[in-house]
Amino acid sequence: MSTSLTGLQADGLDGRYRMLVDAITDYAIYMLDPGGHVSSWNSGANRFKGYTEEEILGEHFSRFYTPEDREAGVPLRALATAKAEGRFEAEGWRVRKDGVRFWAHVVIDSIRDPNGQLIGFAKITRDLSERKLAEEVLRRSEEQFRLLVEGVTDYAIYMLTPEGNVTSWNAGAQRIKGYEPAEIIGQHFSRFYTEEDRAAELPRVALDTASTVGRFEKEGWRVRKDGTRFWASVIIDAIRDEGGTLIGFAKVTRDVTEKRQAQEALERAQQELFQAQKMEAVGQLTGGIAHDFNNLLTAVLGSLEIAKKRAMSGQNNADLIDNAIQGAKRGAALTQRLLAFSRKQDLKLEKVELPELVREMASLIERTIGPEIEIATIFPLSLLPVMSDPNQLESALLNLVVNARDAMPGGGRITIEAKLRPVGPGQIKELPAGDYIVLTVVDEGEGMDEETLKKATIPFFTTKGVGKGTGLGLPMIHGLMAQSGGALALKSRVGEGTSAELWLPVAERDQKGSIAISPIAEPAPRVDKSLTVLAVDDDGLVLMNTTLMLEDLGHVPIEAHSGEEALQLLEEGSVPDVVITDHAMPDMTGAELLVHLAARYPDIPVILATGYAELPEGVGTGIQRLAKPFMQAELNEALVAVLKAHDR
């Protein structure tokens, strides 16, 4: 061994080279003789193998190997490989002096003299335990993640190449889609899509979207191996390397067919419930409306029947006819309330004197509530007028009084009072700042609990019996107040009665500070000439009534029962001075007739008679309208207005 070392020194191992090798501590660098015995030892070898130079020189290098490797002949094969090929390189477990194992990277180079004679081996060992540990941790983590992904059965989780070919397949994908890994890996993922989606290139769009924005998410039908369809929630994420190059896609698919079916079942149930509620509401509405209209028709028919008998015997029947007219007007007011509630009827806001309005309603209120109820009114000596629709306000007040009466079946007192109430900014949520008159109806009835009070203004809610109320009274009043710029406030406690407050905005003042009251409009003068009027209505009774009114005004009516008949009469040569047409007619509406008249007979003035405020888009501008139901005075005013506008 000393002869070999002397030979090596003679070959150029000078002191500086030895100092360099000895200074290296991260590598074990040492020499072996041809038999594998250690002939040199640096400080790095000492540091991580634990042997001093005195302890290890002359010992065989196989002692660094594990017993298993020595038994398997690994050390001798390493030297044989280095001798034959000039180099041996490997990684494996090695053993320190204290018996602790470490993971080592080993390089063994053969050393030969100038004549090619083997004189030994140079061996470099590096301790890679930390890297091995990190790799092992990473391997275990990846293995756990792989097991996790492969163990998930509720989600199909798999990888795609940038072109869309499947590269991995978990148990969830196999369960949901039906393919074994060997059947699908390498296949294009578009086979999971329906024929319609493939024709629309949805698979390509999905990958393009994921590649561009990083993620694609969508629900849709997918196809299993057996051809059955299922509703899937799909997420595709783009996967890129550290340099940003697209290397594939991660695809997660979930079968949400049951969830979709449950949602559809819920929607069907909700629709059926809505339909049932709607039918219940319609039944309640028709029952209540039928009750109110039956009362009105009883008064109208009874009065007309007696008036007919009196007329045949020559008696005076003016009072009975007046009674029938009043009943019909109340029926018209009921219809207007319904139309106002559905926003089909315009409100006619004007200045209203509340004391006068209540005074004029006194006899009607007394007859409505009966003798068991006492009425008390409290008004200040001077009260500012309010802005509202007088007809709707009368109906609202009558409704509140009837509600108060029904709350006191054993009798009691109803108090109607009014007072001025200023409202500051933000003081009352529903109201802008300004002056209001609060018209209040107070009863001494049984009152309402909190739950009933909350529902009181909900459409169709009523505490009255079937057929005795529509459940629209308070909601319509609430709507009237909202459209008038005011509010409805209900206050009630069980056993203490109910107070219904109508907050009505005060009419605007003039520049001098007084309230501007519009003068009472005089009836429009009659047209000073006889007109030929084409009246169009599909209802024979309404058409006859319109004709009689026109004749009584001195005009010559021409009847048409439809828009088509009206156009035919015009084509046959009948040229009227004015056309009055209903709107709601079958086949051709009044609005459609207006279009034909404007195109063919633009010089004929037209009056549109309708009970609706809303008309088709483009109809109504510049058209004289006559609100149904109308009296002879309103018909005359419409004729005067349309002729005046036409003469311009």
SS (H, E, C) 484-496: HCCEEEEEECCCC
Indicate if the pLDDT at residue 558 is higher than 90.
yes
Query: C-alpha dihedral over 522, 528, 533, 536, to 10 degrees?
Result: 0
Strand partners, 32: 38, 121
Query: C-alpha dihedral over 626, 632, 637, 639, to 10 degrees?
Result: 80
Contact 441, 378 (CB under 8 A): no
Q: What is d(CA 607, CA 143) in angstroms, rounded to the nearest whole number?
A: 85
Q: What is d(CA 333, CA 392) in angstroms, rounded to the nearest whole number?
A: 7
Indicate if the pLDDT at residue 324 is higher than 90.
no
Nearest to residue 417, comparing CAs of 384, 439, 400, 385?
439
On the question of a cis peptide bond just before residue 380, with omega within 30 degrees of 0, the verdict is: no
Domains belonging to the chain, first-starting first, are: 2-133 (3.30.450.20), 152-255 (3.30.450.20), 261-334 (no CATH), 346-505 (3.30.565.10), 532-647 (3.40.50.2300)
pLDDT, residue 487, reads 87
Q: Which residue has the higher pLDDT, 323 or 595?
A: 595
Indicate if the pLDDT at residue 393 is higher than 50.
yes
Q: Which residue has the higher pLDDT, 524 or 257?
A: 257
Contact 85, 107 (CB under 8 A): no
Nearest to residue 490, comparing CAs of 411, 423, 430, 434?
430
- Which residues in 227-259 are b (16+ Cβ under 10 Å) and which e? eeebbbbbbbebeeeeeeeeebbbbbbbbeeee
**Across 54-58, 352-356, 417-421, 629-633, least confident range:** 629-633
- Tell me the average pLDDT across 96-114: 92
According to DSSP, residue 291 is labeled H
Contact 155, 253 (CB under 8 A): yes
547: left (phi over 0), alpha (psi -120 to 50) or beta: alpha
State the pTM of this model.
Answer: 0.39
Contact 491, 501 (CB under 8 A): yes
- Tell me the average pLDDT across 316-344: 68
pLDDT, residue 233, reads 92
Nearest to residue 404, comparing CAs of 445, 454, 462?
445
**Across 115-119, 203-207, 261-265, least confident range:** 261-265
Q: What is d(CA 359, CA 431) in angstroms, rounded to the nearest whole number?
A: 28
Instruction: Identify the residue whose tokens are 């039906």.
Output: 178
Q: What is d(CA 590, CA 515) in angstroms, rounded to the nearest whole number?
A: 41
Q: What is d(CA 319, CA 305) in angstroms, rounded to the nearest whole number?
A: 13
Residue 612, SS3? coil
Q: Could you give the strand order of the β-sheet that contains 487-492, starting from the edge strand earlier in sequence? A: 373-378, 412-423, 434-442, 498-505, 487-492
Indicate if the pLDDT at residue 172 is higher than 60.
yes
Q: What is the DSSP string of 568-593?
A: HHHHTT---SEEEEESS-SSS-HHHH
527: left (phi over 0), alpha (psi -120 to 50) or beta: beta
**Exposed, middle or buried by CB within 10 Å (0-12, 13-18, 19+), for 429?**
exposed
Contact 324, 307 (CB under 8 A): yes
Question: Which H helix or E strand runs over 220?
Answer: strand 215-223
Give the Cα-Cα-Cα angle 305, 308, 310 (nearest 5 degrees). 110
- Tell me the average pLDDT across 509-519: 42
Contact 557, 528 (CB under 8 A): no
Measured from the Cβ of residue 464, the count of other Cβ atoms closer than 10 Å reads 14
**Across 50-59, 151-160, 184-193, 596-605, least confident range:** 151-160
Nearest to residue 285, comparing CAs of 468, 517, 16?
468
Mean of the per-residue pLDDT values for the chain? Answer: 81
**Across 450-464, 615-629, 632-646, least confident range:** 450-464
The tens digit of pLDDT for each residue in 345-387 reads 556 788 999 999 888 888 777 767 777 888 898 999 889 999 8
- CB-based contacts of 284, cutoff 8 Å, min separation 6: 460, 462, 466, 470, 471
Question: Which H helix or E strand runs over 219?
Answer: strand 215-223
The tens digit of pLDDT for each residue in 16-44 reads 556 666 667 678 899 999 999 999 998 88
Residue 240, SS3? strand
Q: Return the sign of the alpha-carbon dihedral for residues 634, 635, 640, 642.
A: positive
State the pLDDT confidence band at 226, using cuts at 50, 70 and 90.
Answer: very high
Strand partners, 165: 188
Measured from the Cβ of residue 149, the count of other Cβ atoms closer than 10 Å reads 19
Nearest to residue 504, comparing CAs of 480, 486, 483, 492?
486
**Across 10-24, 174-188, 425-439, 555-569, least confident range:** 10-24
Instruction: Identify the residue whose tokens are 């549109």.
Output: 608
Contact 559, 582 (CB under 8 A): no
